[in-house]
């Protein structure tokens, strides 16, 4: 059962999910893409991103649909390792995994149309899905956002995400680089920094909260980044881990109030483009001092597939990290073999069904 504590004490989880092989979803996506003159890839994946390459959808008609079939392990991990969670808001276009127990007391199934303004629908844009989280009915002020490739492997306490009533995070500079392999993200990160620079002065912010930039326990690499960045008067970008992200719902409302135009522009795009994303909200929290400085990279392992498949399976089986991010890519070749390897590892530590399963 969800707890009866005050909203200030409750912590919810939010996880978006897409079934990329759902024929009705594909039909709607094809219709929208045809309207804007784009061809739709037949690649399917589970996750908040319906597209891999930003707002350009490549014709990939020979590619196979695929699903990692491991979302149940995410729920098992949460129930076993974070039983204190108040509510899980499961965000979906409308499809539900066949194994899901829709009557689970802590589960809130959220359709896009339940919280995203009608003017932005239908959407296949992860930025739209994320930037409107604060509109989810019943969402607690404190919540943690998970991608569906981020799993708990060990017990996690509330204090791992929020401390002193504020999100735990790390304030570190990291230059935005021109990455030809992912140009959309390069544009997004720079656009985020441009918005933030309207409200925060870099050097003044360092003076205002030096302990947030040079917190004992931060990785030495980021001490170095922050020291070097002091030579440059303007923001060049920020470091954000690819793991669970703790948010205050009110921060979303604040940024929407101040930057309605750019957020509306971003959300008006049916597919993800080089606008802004949820890192804007996360970095706003940090620059405004509404966070507790901590090395949140500690206990987090990141594995890129296919090359990191063996390492990922080993980390899962031996529970070497508290959290693992398993990031797949278009280069996965032996998909079935890698999927079986990863899911077998999950099954070895999470063999029992959760209350979220039938």
Residues 51/272, Cβ–Cβ less than 8 Å: yes
**Residues composing the chain:** 358
Mean pLDDT, to the nearest integer, of 20-39?
Answer: 85
Does pLDDT of 4 surpass 70? Answer: no
Structure tokens at 183: 């140009």
Cα–Cα dist 82/52, whole Å: 30
Mean pLDDT, to the nearest integer, of 282-307?
Answer: 95
Q: 3-state DSSP helix/strand/coil percent for the chain, to nearest 5?
A: 35, 15, 50
Does pLDDT of 351 surpass 50? Answer: yes
> What's the distance, CA 316 to chain centroid?
20
Note down the domain range covering 245: 11-349
Mean pLDDT, to the nearest integer, of 136-159?
Answer: 98
Q: How far is CA 91 from CA 110, 293, 302, 303, 317, in A?
A: 5, 29, 24, 24, 28
Does pLDDT of 328 surpass 90? Answer: no
Q: Please give the pLDDT value at position 60.
A: 33
User: 34 pLDDT band (50/70/90 cuts)?
Assistant: confident
Q: Please give the pLDDT value at position 179.
A: 87
Does pLDDT of 25 surpass 60? Answer: yes
Residues 20/328, Cβ–Cβ less than 8 Å: no
Residues 114/91, Cβ–Cβ less than 8 Å: no
Asked if residue 284 is part of any domain, the answer here is yes
- The larger pLDDT score, comparing residue 9 to residue 15, is at 15
Task: Note the pLDDT tens digit of each residue in 219-256.
Answer: 998 899 899 999 999 999 999 999 999 999 999 999 99
Give how many domains the chain has, as a whole number.
Answer: 1
Asked if residue 239 is part of any domain, the answer here is yes
Asked if residue 355 is part of any domain, the answer here is no
Cα–Cα dist 334/33, whole Å: 30
Asked if residue 354 is part of any domain, the answer here is no
Q: Please give the pLDDT value at position 41.
A: 44
Q: Please give the pLDDT value at position 330.
A: 64
Mean pLDDT, to the nearest integer, of 297-324?
Answer: 95
Asked if residue 180 is part of any domain, the answer here is yes
Q: Please give the pLDDT value at position 306.
A: 86
Q: Please give the pLDDT value at position 39.
A: 46
Q: Please give the pLDDT value at position 211.
A: 96
Cα–Cα dist 244/161, whole Å: 8
Cα–Cα dist 77/133, whole Å: 23
Task: Note the pLDDT tens digit of each residue in 150-178.
Answer: 999 999 999 999 999 999 999 999 999 89
* CA-CA-CA-CA torsion sign (196, 257, 278, 223): positive
Mean pLDDT, to the nearest integer, of 280-294?
Answer: 98
Does pLDDT of 95 surpass 90? Answer: yes
pTM (two decimals): 0.91
User: 44 pLDDT band (50/70/90 cuts)?
Assistant: very low
Does pLDDT of 47 surpass 90? Answer: no
% residues pLDDT > 90 (the chain):
79
Structure tokens at 132: 């409107």
Cα–Cα dist 263/190, whole Å: 15
How many C-beta neighbours within 10 Å does residue 167 have?
A: 23
Asked if residue 318 is part of any domain, the answer here is yes
User: Which of 284, 320, 276, 318 has its CA nearest to residue 302?
Assistant: 320
Phi, psi dihedrals of residue 234, rounded to the nearest 5°: -110, 155
Residues 147/286, Cβ–Cβ less than 8 Å: no
User: 7 pLDDT band (50/70/90 cuts)?
Assistant: low
Q: Residue 306, preceding bond cis, omega within 30 degrees? A: yes
- State the average pLDDT for the chain: 89
User: 42 pLDDT band (50/70/90 cuts)?
Assistant: very low
Asked if residue 156 is part of any domain, the answer here is yes
Cα–Cα dist 100/107, whole Å: 10
How many C-beta neighbours within 10 Å does residue 166 have?
A: 16
Mean pLDDT, to the nearest integer, of 316-320?
Answer: 98
Asked if residue 288 is part of any domain, the answer here is yes
Structure tokens at 265: 């522009």
User: Which of 75, 101, 72 has its CA nearest to residue 13?
Assistant: 75
Cα–Cα dist 347/76, whole Å: 10
Q: How far is CA 51 from CA 148, 262, 350, in A?
A: 15, 21, 30
Q: How far is CA 67 from CA 19, 34, 39, 216, 220, in A?
A: 8, 25, 21, 41, 38
């Amino acid at each position: 059962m969800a707890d009866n504590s005050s909203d200030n004490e409750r912590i919810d989880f939010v996880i978006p999910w897409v079934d990329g092989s759902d024929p009705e979803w594909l039909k709607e996506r094809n219709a929208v893409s045809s309207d804007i003159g784009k061809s739709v890839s037949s690649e399917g994946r589970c996750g908040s991103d319906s597209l891999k390459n930003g707002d350009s959808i490549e014709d990939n008609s020979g590619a196979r649909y695929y699903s990692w079939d491991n979302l149940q392990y995410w729920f098992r991990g949460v129930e076993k390792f974070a039983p204190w969670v108040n509510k899980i808001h499961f965000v979906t276009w409308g499809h539900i995994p066949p194994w899901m127990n829709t009557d689970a007391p802590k589960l809130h199934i959220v359709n896009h149309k339940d919280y995203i303004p009608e003017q932005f629908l239908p959407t296949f844009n992860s930025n739209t899905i994320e930037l409107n989280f604060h509109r989810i009915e019943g969402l607690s002020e404190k919540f943690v956002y998970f991608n569906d490739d981020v799993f708990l492997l060990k017990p996690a306490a509330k204090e791992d995400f929020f401390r002193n009533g504020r999100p735990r995070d790390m304030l570190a500079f990291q230059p935005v680089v021109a990455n030809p392999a992912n140009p959309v993200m390069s544009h997004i990160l720079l656009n985020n920094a441009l918005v933030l620079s309207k409200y925060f002065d870099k050097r003044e912010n360092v003076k205002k909260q030096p302990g947030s930039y040079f917190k004992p326990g931060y990785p030495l690499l980021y001490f170095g980044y922050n020291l070097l960045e002091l030579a440059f008067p303007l923001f060049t970008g920020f470091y954000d881990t690819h793991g669970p992200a703790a948010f205050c719902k009110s921060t979303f409302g604040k940024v929407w109030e101040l930057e309605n135009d750019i957020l509306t522009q971003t959300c008006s795009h049916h597919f993800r483009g080089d606008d802004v994303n949820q890192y804007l909200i996360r970095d706003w929290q940090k620059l405004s001092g509404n966070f507790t400085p901590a090395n949140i990279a500690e206990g987090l392992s990141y594995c890129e597939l296919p090359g990191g498949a063996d390492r990922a399976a080993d980390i899962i089986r031996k529970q070497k990290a508290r959290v693992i991010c398993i990031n797949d890519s278009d280069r996965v070749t032996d998909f079935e073999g890698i999927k079986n390897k990863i899911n077998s590892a999950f099954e070895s530590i999470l063999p029992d069904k959760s209350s979220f399963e039938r």
